[in-house]
Amino acid sequence: MNKQRRAFLVSMAQNIAIAATGGFLWSAYVYEAKAAPLILRPPGAKKEEEFISLCIKCGLCVEACPYDTLKLAKPGDNKPLGTPYFIPRDIPCYMCDDIPCVPPCPTGALDIDSVTEVKDGKREFDIMKMRMGVAIVDMKSCIAYWGIQCDACYRACPILDKAIYLEYRKNERTGKHAFLLPVVDPDYCTGCGLCEHACVTEEPAIRVLPREVALGKVGKHYVKGWDKSDEGRLEGSKGIETTVTERSKKNPIDTLNEGIDFE
Amino acid sequence: MSRLWKKYRFLIARRFTQILILLLYIGANVWGWKILQGNLSSSLFLETIPLADPYAVLQIFAAGSLVAIDALIGAILITLFYSLVGGRAFCSWVCPINMVTDLANYLRRKLNLDKFEKKWWASRNVRYWVMGLSFIISFLIGTAAFEMVSPISITHRGLIFGMGFGWAAIVTIFLFDLFILKNGWCGHICPLGGFYSVIGKYNLVRVSHNQPNCTLCMRCKEVCPEKEVLYMVGKKSQVVDMGECTLCGRCIEVCDDDALNFSLHYFAKKGEKDES
């Protein structure tokens, strides 16, 4: 009886150990394999964390894309297996007005609400709302910053003068020419990558990066005092709060002057 | 010729469906056909009916996300189909890996490997453990865990969208089944097969055994990829009632004595009770 009991317990422990070993290996692999901070997702994709949990890897968005922009990650691509992505330098997103890639998504990993707008009770596509990434200019390898005239990215931009605008500056080196510098405004940039595709340098001097990677965040403790709507955030706040400690009860001047004999 | 057909009719029909389904998917991506778009994880049939892999949807649910209505309807349709009439037929009539493991099995029989090979023992219940683990890992890591490693999806997606290093998965399974464990992948490990075994447990279409005709040649058990389901062969007339049966029909084809046939679950069952 005791022997039987022992055999049972040992075999239980064995099974659990096998399951745990396998489980840990498997989790470790999945955990590493799902992390892809530099991947660019299709239009309307939810935040990466949510996207990777929702995407069922069916490739319907890939099939819907008329320009073959979207690809499904194959083994060897070093991207989460079977999930859709695009590389703008190869084929950028041409920002179709009818957004064929988003509605086929069966799971909602591509969120149709994020690229539509309700106008007069009718839902209409608005590709300008998509935020796949944001273009970043490398000032050192952008030849416009050298003083050479190039506006390839500016001309390629479908939201020209908003998402990319030119800033004029005097070229002090020659003294008589102007720099025409491309500058990206993340408020308008959709991350389509037409600029990256058009860039003339060997490696693109303007690149699309995921917004979470490229953009900072100010935090809510800064308020634009000159902006009425931003200033409005202060309404209803209780004002500046001061922490009162034993020491700060007294007037600071009194504290500083304490113990000094002025006579 | 007619004998050849009689001996391989289900095998031919299965290869035909497997390849046809693959071809429809490939055609959708390459030539823009609108019959069956997407892949086995989720697809669109005739541009209207959504279909989805219920196991993948469950994993997504375990990962903490609720899929949108299309995938939900798709998963329900597939579940209904397989639990009512399909059983575990996905494995032998649709899954592309079936062709790989069937080939490994065929070679195993032809080369007589079973006689010479070092025997490994593994429980056929491993697949249910793997299935349970997949839900736990999906929950902990926040993404569908089996979908990240599934050689079925890798192969199937590879054939439609481009293979990459995906061939390695096919070779691994082939070698595993050929040299390491008989029916290793489909019969022991694959949690998708386990999943379909569970939902197909009470389906209508069954293989049924007619004991009086049986001559105990045991050819059916030789070819069966899940031979534990044929426990009644030669013992009593009964339908194959275990969910693990993939309804491949190989046992029916190889039987020379008409002792095995497809039948409908409940009608067949009643029939035998009257007999006995």
- Residue A145 sits in the same domain as residue A174: yes
**Is there a single domain that holds both residue B231 and residue B173?**
no
With CB atoms and an 8 Å threshold, state whether A107 touches B153.
no
Gap from B47 CA to chain A (nearest CA, Å):
10
Q: Which residues constitute the domain of residue A53?
A: 48-129
- Residues of A within 8 A of B148 (CB-CB) are 29-30, 33-34, 80-81
Contact residues for A24 (Cβ-Cβ < 8 A; gap 6+): none
- The pairing of strands A134-137 and B49-52 is unpaired
**Which of residues A214, A237, A257 is at a domain's end?**
A214
Give the mean model confidence (pLDDT) for residues B147-166. Answer: 92
Spatial distance between the Cα atoms of A196 and A206, rounded to a whole number of angstroms: 5
| Spatial contact of A178 and A169, defined as CB atoms under 8 Å apart | yes
CA atoms of B82 and A114, how far apart (whole Å): 35
The residue of chain A nearest to residue B140, with distances taken between CA atoms, is: A27
Residues A119 and A161 in one domain: no
- pLDDT, tens only, B87-143: 999 999 999 999 999 999 999 989 988 777 777 778 899 999 999 999 999 999 999
Query: Across the interface, which of B71, B143, B149 has its CB nearest the CB of A107?
Result: B71
pLDDT the model gives residue B266? 66
Sign of CA dihedral B27, A69, B57, B244: positive
Helix%, strand%, coil% for chain A, nearest 5? 30, 15, 55
Q: What is the pLDDT of residues A75-107, one digit of tens each?
A: 988 899 999 999 999 999 999 999 999 999 999
Q: Which of these three, A96, A129, A162, is where a domain ends?
A: A129
**Minimal Cβ distance to A60: which of B44, B56, B163:** B44
CA diameter of chain A:
100
Same domain? For B25 and B91 the reply is yes
Whether A259 maps to a domain, the answer reads: no
Query: Using the beta-carbon criterion (under 8 Å), do B29 and A59 form an inter-chain contact?
Result: yes
Q: What is the CATH number for A183?
A: 3.30.70.20
pLDDT, tens digit, for every residue of A11-66? 889 888 988 999 999 999 999 888 888 999 999 999 999 999 999 999 999 999 99
Per-state percent for chain B, helix, strand, coil, to nearest 5: 60, 10, 30
Count up the domains in chain B and report the number.
2
Cα separation, B159 vs A18, in Å, equals: 33
Q: What whole-number percentage of chain B has pLDDT above 90?
A: 73
Q: Are B208 and B238 in contact (CB under 8 A)?
A: yes
Select the residue of A23, A31, A77 nearest B164 (Cβ to Cβ): A77
Residues B243 and B139 in one domain: no
Please identify which residue in the block is written with the tokens 């056929």.
Answer: B124
Domain of residue B242, CATH code: 3.30.70
Q: Is the pLDDT of residue B220 over 70?
A: yes
Number of domains in chain A: 2
Cβ burial of B115 (10 Å; 0-12, 13-18, 19+) is exposed
Q: Distance (Å, rounded) from C-alpha A251 to C-alpha A258?
A: 11
| Set of chain A residues whose Cβ sits within 8 Å of the Cβ of B65 | 50, 53-54, 107
Is A29 an 8 Å CB contact of chain B? yes
**Facing residue for A57 by CB, picked from B29, B133, B153:** B153
B61 and B44 inside one domain: yes
Q: Does A216 touch chain B (CB under 8 A)?
A: no
**Are A53 and B60 a contacting pair at CB < 8 A?**
yes
DSSP H/E element including B106? helix B97-110
Joined together, the tokens standing for residue A80 give 């989460």
Length of chain A in residues, anyone? 263
* Unique residue bearing structure tokens 């890939």: A62
The domain containing residue B188 runs over which residues? 2-199
Number of H helices, E strands in chain B: 15, 6
**For helices B54-62 and B191-199, angle between their N-to-C axes, nearest 10 degrees:** 110
Question: Of A85, A112, A40, A82, which Cα lies nearest the Cα of B70?
Answer: A112
Say how far apart CA B243 and CA B247 lie, in whole Å.
Answer: 10
Residue A225 is assigned to a structural domain of this protein: no
The tens digit of pLDDT for each residue in A161-212 reads: 999 999 999 999 999 999 999 999 999 999 999 999 999 999 999 999 999 9
pLDDT on residue A252:
78
Same domain, B168 and B212: no
Based on the domain organization, do B110 and B52 belong to the same domain?
A: yes
